[in-house]
Structure 1
Amino acid sequence: MIILVIAIVLLGLVTYYFHLRDQKKQAAAGNPPAQDETPAPPQECCGQHLVCERDSLLAGVSKTIEYYDDEELDDWKNTPADQYTPEQVEHFRDIFYTLLPSDVPGWVRSLQLRQIEVPESLRDEILLVVNEQRNIDK
């Protein structure tokens, strides 16, 4: 057992030595050592992150703002999502539940273009409807 552990450690040391030697040879030849590349982000949104949802909702969409009988929400432009009063959250919720499910992605785009943040307590419900609409549209 001890011999096996010693053999594995020696194999690791030899591998490390040759790796360092190769890097030194590349540097001497004028080639910089290869950098570890970070993987590119996935091409499609997984739907699990709000930032990903926000970016995918705005991607390739017209910058024309469409209102959904919610002009009064413009009063809350640039209000942080965690700063809404319970009454304001209820107002958002009332508007959200009067929308057709197919209108929810457009409504969210409209809010984003108008720089109106959705209250945090309502985000999960909205993302659920948006994801359902994506699955229907596929």
Structure 2
Amino acid sequence: MNIIVISILAIVALGVVVMIGTRIFDSKGTDEPIVVPASDCSSCDGTNAKCEQVCQMEAATKPAEYYDDEELDAFRGRQSDEYNDEEAAMFAEVLETLRPDEVRPWSRSLLVRGINMPDQIKDEFIALAEG
């Protein structure tokens, strides 16, 4: 009977020691504020939808950036499936002259300007944006 009582007291004592140690360890970590690193839109890689959404909203508040593509403003308001091949080629020409780091911002620029990208070049855009 004494062994059972001593065993129970030892388990309770061990539990108290673990609880005190856990509270001391946890309280040390809460003194420092959690710092969330600031990110900018250049770090969005397409895997984080929230980052992309924030960047889209940020881009909408800034003036449109042009990539030597002012002639595309004539297509403002047109649906993506309403372009003929010749018109889509105008977009493809601009797309193919962009540096890799300009592909996504160019898409944002089109959106801000109210221009829908033609369906004919969307596959090429995706390939370049992901590459």
User: TM-score if structure 2 supplies the norm length?
Assistant: 0.56
Q: Deviations over 1:33-86 (max 9, x none)?
A: xxxxxxxxxx923xxxxxxx7x46514335221101100100000100000111
Q: Does 1:107 align with 2:113?
A: no
| Whole-angstrom CA distance in 1 between matches of 2:108 and 2:117 | 11
Mark the CA change 1:123 to 1:56 in structure 2 (over 3 Å): closer, same or farther: farther
* Corresponding residue of 1:60: 58
* Corresponding residue of 2:69: 70
% of aligned pairs identical?
A: 34
* Corresponding residue of 1:125: 124
Mark the CA change 1:79 to 1:98 in structure 2 (over 3 Å): closer, same or farther: same
Matches for 1:1-138 after TM superposition, within 5 Å:
44-45=48-49, 55=53, 58-61=56-59, 63-132=62-131
DSSP-derived class of the 1:91 partner:
helix
Higher helix share: 2
Amino acid at match of 2:105: G
Mark the CA change 1:57 to 1:119 in structure 2 (over 3 Å): closer, same or farther: farther
| Whole-angstrom CA distance in 1 between matches of 2:73 and 2:58 | 23
Amino acid at match of 1:124: D
The CA RMSD measured in Å over matched residues stands at: 2.3
Contact map agreement 1:57 1:105 (CA 8 A) in 2: no
Contact map agreement 2:85 2:120 (CA 8 A) in 1: no
Amino acid at match of 2:58: G
| Whole-angstrom CA distance in 1 between matches of 2:66 and 2:57 | 19
| Whole-angstrom CA distance in 2 between matches of 1:60 and 1:126 | 21
Structure ID, larger Rg: 2
User: TM-score if structure 1 supplies the norm length?
Assistant: 0.53
Amino acid at match of 1:60: E
